[in-house]
Structure 1
């Protein structure tokens, strides 16, 4: 950068002061020849310097973007569930992809060009005042006016680019949602309405972009006008100084060179300024995520679960998702090692909240959750969650092979261990019928598989991880009766020695549970095994009775 800048500053000085005022004026062909060779060598140095500058700056810029995106993704991965509860997947994608991309041009070109232009402008101003202070003052008189106007524009342009990033986030969020829900859209024949809504969001995005670009475009023509004014002043006042013998013709020519060079970096500074405003709007959104702290925090001196047994105790636990809604009211319960505990109740009774607290996706508002006598807030998150496997009703299958999906929770597992886990849950039969067996590539979210097949894969994935605690949240809801019978048989062997928490609306799946806890509005109504609760003829009895009456009616 320095070599390139020095060459650009020196050459006009050589042309004006030596080539014109000495070699040409005195018809010194020998000196002129040496000067031409010298200038050629300087430009060769400039070429080599620019080549390496561009190469190294681009490498540096790409590394900065790579590290920023890596750190942002890594940070988001560790944020608590409430962060994702309050944001759409599309808006998160925009920040990791688009907002980081908008910084790329600034880091690969903008910053180094900014340094070059500042050095170049400083050098030009110093040289102009050394050559002729009166002429320098005359041609640079418009600078204060230009800086005053550009400062006025700054806030308006910055706000415009902030609006663009917000609107682009909405656009991406809606697009992501539309793609995820395309089956629902088509099943209700809402393609036209969905397209119209997208067009509205897209039009708003276009309008925000247009306004931001319009405001940003003011700067370029203003610089061109400033250049024109400076040139007019140079010609008129410079001619007067030459006629009055106050400056040489060579000085005038050097001034012309420097003045042309002066407005070029000014124009580039305007472009860099626009880049900077876009980058500032994006960086504010990026650092908003990076500054976000997980609600579930790990203590510096957190302990490790060395040999988890699986004894779970809720000690007067109260939990609220927000200040208006209490999900659990001072729950006290115990789940002993090796027990299968079923959580039963209507929607919103607190079943999934209990499961989330056991995995420490949230911390209790009051009270404590303990496993093997350890308060979960005192333990390391990874040592807790590696001992827990969760199977949800809406299971998630990653793009990749069947083998990779089952191995997800335990990457070091052998192929034989993967196949054994699949056999134990009854998934081996349908996997073998696939085109490439365990090496079959599944699409995003496992779309080539049926709901029941995806659920079986999630069972195999959870069981391969060999957890001490297994949480089944409506895990058999998507499986037909015949497959459910197979899984129930497999679970009888697999759950031995493990603490299992089963959340189910189909009460037939929990008859064999050691303890059934009936919840309502975040409170425990009753608990016991199936026979005990049926004899009580309480809430559980009425739930079972109403469910069987519905089946009889069908």
Structure 2
């Protein structure tokens, strides 16, 4: 992979990138062919210019002048058409490649463990999936083929120069090492500079995304000035990274221009003396060499510029491939399809930690019978939500086993397992879409009629009908157009219409109004009836109705029983928790 050592080019990374052109080989070869043709056509008009001067202008033959002008016009039209095909299909190829890479990247990211997202900045991942991949397109549209075309054109020009006049060619070649050396140094410096640019772009995207998402917190705690100052500092680093690239450009391009002018001056001086002295050199060759020098030196300057583009694309490709190479995927090696599960759940000596050597669950043994409603209670950090995450295989356990209906959950195909488990989280996430699409998640198997019928069953239909547009009401980003209680009801309905075998609820009623709380309780009673349900309980009513209560503390199960059984334990953990947290809600 490319790194920050200043290495000018990484051929292994480039070879890997080229594999994405395999489905478009015909276009790839066509673009390569037009690049070769452009290099050959480049010397046609300079040669015709020499012929026009020597055979028409100097002898003052007007009839030949018209013929040569028509030849030059034909060559120009052919070059323009070739240039059009080259530019269009090079860009077309680039867009096809980045479409394929972006689709592959997004599909890969969809399979990541939840732990990966816990540890990764969203803004940085957005940068990889959007702007970095757009930068990769420039490798094909402005980098790779442009460089090949320019190199071929330079080779043709050098050979043609030697064929026409080796003495004038040697004068030009005296200056050539200077600009080649300057170009090489420029490429290395720009590689490091562009690494820094991409890093600062990523940091800027991450900062802006997080602050816009958390703007409510920023304003509630009067952090506007502090965050503004931090943004200015990050933006300053971003500016400085770009200024460094401008600095290198400002040095290199004047040097390249000066080298071109010196080479032209030497040719005019030496060639002019030979013409005046009546030697074999003529005015046409001098004019032709002036054109050829510009054709030779201009690609060198352009190659440096295009190499910058190529390097930016390579840096972006390196970052994108780093995500593609990330092995943060839950292993889906199961062969069994989970369908119509009974819902018998068993945890055997399950241990798990989000961080190595820091266990959150410590040897958990738990059995839930089919159709049971089990409440899990405990202090914050006891491991309640972790049990939910492990059941759906959002994380891999360290030790032990988890089984459903006597089958290890690793033996089920991951997708089919999650289809049988519906989860309603405490923090409800809604997309910027309609109520209907947020409930069905655009599952073609769930019709609007199914949604309405389910909404009526759990008592949510009347609430949705009060919204403008009803089921077609757009809730906007993260469901901001709805209250927390309304978002919770939508989440309940989303779970209910999926007809899961196992239901997992992380109740959140502490911040909702009494009306929404009543609807949520009714919905809870309805959707848990007749199916295995695991509830992280925050409400006394739910705890009382549970068939079994699991009491957790510091990653261990400390008590199991019904509400009444646990209250009868003197100095019991649940009794203490009940008196401190739940008694105020008792009626």
Q: Does 1:123 align with 2:123?
A: no
2:46 pairs with one of 7, 12, 28: 12
Question: Would the aligned equivalents of 1:426 and 1:456 in 2 still touch at CA under 8 Å?
Answer: no
SS of equivalent to 2:354: strand
Moved more, 265-274 or 492-501: 492-501
CA distance in 2, matches of 1:115, 1:179: 44
**Cα deviation, residue 81, structure 1:** 1.1
1:192 pairs with one of 203, 225, 229: 225
1:430-457 Cα offsets, whole Å, 9 max, x none, are: 2111121111111111111111001101
Structure 2 vs 1, CA of residues 85 and 438 (structure 1 numbering), >3 Å: closer, same or farther?
Answer: same
What TM-score comes out, normalization by structure 2 length? Answer: 0.89
Q: Does 1:268 align with 2:302?
A: yes
2:355 pairs with one of 314, 322, 327: 322
Moved more, 384-393 or 208-217: 208-217
Partner of 1:436: 469
CA distance in 1, matches of 2:114, 2:273: 75
1:343 pairs with one of 376, 394, 414: 376
Moved more, 73-82 or 393-402: 73-82
1:190-228 Cα offsets, whole Å, 9 max, x none, are: 222222222222222112221232224332222111111
2:187 pairs with one of 142, 154, 157: 154
For structure 1, which runs of at least 5 residues remain unmatched after alignment?
none
Structure 2 vs 1, CA of residues 91 and 126 (structure 1 numbering), >3 Å: closer, same or farther?
Answer: same
Partner of 1:496: 529
Moved more, 392-401 or 307-316: 307-316
SS of equivalent to 1:209: helix
Partner of 2:293: 259
Partner of 2:133: 100
1:170-192 Cα offsets, whole Å, 9 max, x none, are: 21111111111111222222222
CA distance in 2, matches of 1:154, 1:50: 26
Question: Would the aligned equivalents of 1:4 and 1:50 in 2 still touch at CA under 8 Å?
Answer: yes
Q: Does 1:547 align with 2:565?
A: no
CA distance in 2, matches of 1:409, 1:294: 27
Question: Would the aligned equivalents of 1:121 and 1:265 in 2 still touch at CA under 8 Å?
Answer: yes
Moved more, 18-27 or 155-164: 18-27
Q: Does 1:175 align with 2:208?
A: yes
**Cα deviation, residue 549, structure 1:** 4.7
Partner of 2:518: 485
Moved more, 519-528 or 529-538: 529-538
1:40-81 Cα offsets, whole Å, 9 max, x none, are: 122122222222333222222222222222222222121111
**Cα deviation, residue 24, structure 1:** 4.1
Partner of 1:427: 460
SS of equivalent to 1:73: helix
What is the number of equivalent residue pairs in this alignment? 551
CA distance in 2, matches of 1:259, 1:486: 82
CA distance in 2, matches of 1:471, 1:292: 30
CA distance in 2, matches of 1:490, 1:381: 28
1:439-518 equivalences in 2 (<5 Å): 439-518=472-551
1:204 pairs with one of 220, 232, 237: 237
Partner of 1:282: 316
For structure 2, which runs of at least 5 residues remain unmatched after alignment?
1-33
CA distance in 2, matches of 1:81, 1:387: 19
Structure 2 vs 1, CA of residues 30 and 179 (structure 1 numbering), >3 Å: closer, same or farther?
Answer: same
Structure 2 vs 1, CA of residues 154 and 3 (structure 1 numbering), >3 Å: closer, same or farther?
Answer: closer
SS of equivalent to 1:142: helix
**Cα deviation, residue 463, structure 1:** 0.8
Question: Would the aligned equivalents of 2:162 and 2:169 in 1 still touch at CA under 8 Å?
Answer: yes
Structure 2 vs 1, CA of residues 230 and 261 (structure 1 numbering), >3 Å: closer, same or farther?
Answer: same
Question: Would the aligned equivalents of 2:111 and 2:329 in 1 still touch at CA under 8 Å?
Answer: no
Question: Would the aligned equivalents of 1:393 and 1:477 in 2 still touch at CA under 8 Å?
Answer: no
1:497-516 Cα offsets, whole Å, 9 max, x none, are: 32111012334322111121
What TM-score comes out, normalization by structure 1 length? Answer: 0.94
1:113 pairs with one of 141, 146, 159: 146
